[in-house]
């Protein structure tokens, strides 16, 4: 089944509100003609409102980079999915390797955030991916399968089908080093076959699996041409409107 491509921009800890507003305004203009490609951006929480205001009416979704497992309460320093949804967010990023590495997000925490996101009415993008050492040890597929099993535990079929997955090999994030299309396609196919073993066929057929890790205008087309790569999660290149628009253009059939 043909899946509609989904390109997401993860702005990480960049773009203060005024800069985010300017980038969003440029994107609204440059992405006006994008066919049916789904597009979303993930500003830092402090810039979500400015981004929403500038991008309103464009159909580009806005998401939050992380949420607390609780909708409210005594959790100083965090943001909640319910509040992000109330603000106008559609998506939440979960399990990004930087969250796993710097904030100790293990499978249980990833799974709890998916639960909190879905309960708040947000659509999670769930990131998985192996380190260089794990790849060299021949464990890439096994690591990704374990992360999936841990992340998706307890979700019913209606919930699983709402997720987008992002395969982001840790060694390719922010390093300039991209997985070759063949390397990425192999893991994407293995994720889809893991889904096929675990769920009824409509789920692996419908679920979009993005590739992430140094995606840029020069490599987007060949990655997106792979049969199991349904989009991209873009970090560095999403901070520049022209580059991000070029990646979206590469996804237009
Ligand atoms: P990158 O980041 O495109 O800068 O490698 C991707 C990501 O972290 O999602």
DSSP, residue by residue, 158-175 = HHHTT-EEEE--GGGSSS
Measured distance CA(87)–CA(198) in Å, rounded = 35
Rounded to the nearest angstrom, the distance between the alpha carbon of 179 and the centre of ligand 1 is 12
CATH H superfamily, domain 6-251 = Aldolase class I (3.20.20.70)
Nearest to 123 by CA among 76, 154, 70, 166: 166
- From the number of C-beta atoms within 10 Å of its C-beta (0-12, 13-18, 19+), residue 32 rates as exposed
Encoded tokens for 48? 């979500």
- Determine which residue's CA is closest to atom 9 belonging to ligand 1: 235
Element (H, E) at 63: strand 61-64
The torsion angles phi and psi of 251, rounded to 5 degrees, stand at -90, -10
Measured distance CA(144)–CA(146) in Å, rounded = 5
Pocket of ligand 1 (CB under 6 A): 10, 168, 173-174, 212-215, 233-237
Please identify, by atom number, the ligand 1 atom nearest to the C-alpha of residue 166: 9
Within the chain, where are the H helices?
17-30, 48-55, 81-87, 97-102, 107-119, 132-136, 140-152, 157-160, 181-198, 202-206, 217-224, 241-251
Measured distance CA(144)–CA(152) in Å, rounded = 12
The answer to whether 47 touches 10, Cβ cutoff 8 Å, is no
Query: Do you know the residue count of the chain?
Result: 253
pTM over 0.85: yes
The neighbouring-strand residues paired with 125 are 93, 164
Rounded to the nearest angstrom, the distance between the alpha carbon of 111 and the centre of ligand 1 is 22
Encoded tokens for 12? 């990480």
User: What local confidence, expressed as pLDDT, does residue 7 receive?
Assistant: 98
Please identify, by atom number, the ligand 1 atom nearest to the C-alpha of residue 234: 3
Task: Indicate which residues carry an active-site annotation.
Answer: 96, 168
Q: Where are the chain's structural domains?
A: 6-251
Measured distance CA(170)–CA(226) in Å, rounded = 20
The answer to whether 193 touches 205, Cβ cutoff 8 Å, is no
Q: Along the 253 residues of the chain, how does pLDDT read in single tens digits?
A: 479 999 999 999 999 999 999 999 999 999 999 999 999 999 999 999 999 999 999 999 999 999 999 999 999 999 999 999 999 999 999 999 999 999 999 999 999 999 999 999 999 999 999 999 999 999 999 999 999 999 999 999 999 999 999 999 999 988 888 889 999 999 999 999 999 999 999 999 999 999 999 999 999 999 999 999 999 999 999 999 999 999 999 999 7
């Amino acid at each position: 089944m043909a899946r509609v491509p989904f390109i997401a921009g993860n702005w990480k800890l960049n773009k203060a509100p005024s800069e985010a507003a300017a980038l969003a305004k440029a994107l609204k203009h440059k992405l006006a003609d994008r066919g049916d490609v789904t597009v979303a951006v993930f500003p830092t929480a402090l810039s979500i409102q400015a981004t929403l205001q500038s991008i309103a009416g464009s159909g580009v979704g806005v998401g939050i980079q992380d949420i607390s497992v609780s909708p409210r309460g005594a959790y100083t320093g965090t943001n909640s999915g319910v509040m992000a949804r109330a603000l106008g967010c559609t998506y939440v990023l979960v399990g990004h390797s930087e969250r796993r590495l710097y904030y100790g997000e293990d499978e249980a925490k990833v799974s709890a955030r998916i639960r909190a996101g879905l309960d708040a009415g947000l659509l999670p993008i769930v990131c998985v991916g192996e380190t260089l050492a794990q790849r060299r040890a021949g464990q890439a597929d096994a690591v990704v399968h374990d992360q999936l099993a841990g992340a998706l535990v307890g979700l019913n079929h209606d919930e699983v089908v709402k997720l987008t997955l992002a395969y982001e090999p840790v060694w390719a994030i922010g390093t300039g080093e991209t997985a070759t299309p063949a390397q990425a396609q192999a893991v994407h196919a293995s994720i889809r076959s893991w889904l096929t073993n675990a769920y009824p066929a409509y789920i692996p057929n419908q679920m979009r699996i993005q590739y992430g890790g140094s995606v840029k205008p020069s490599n987007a087309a060949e990655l997106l041409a792979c049969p199991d790569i349904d989009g991209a999660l873009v970090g560095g290149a999403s901070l520049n409107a022209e580059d991000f628009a070029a990646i979206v253009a590469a996804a237009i059939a």
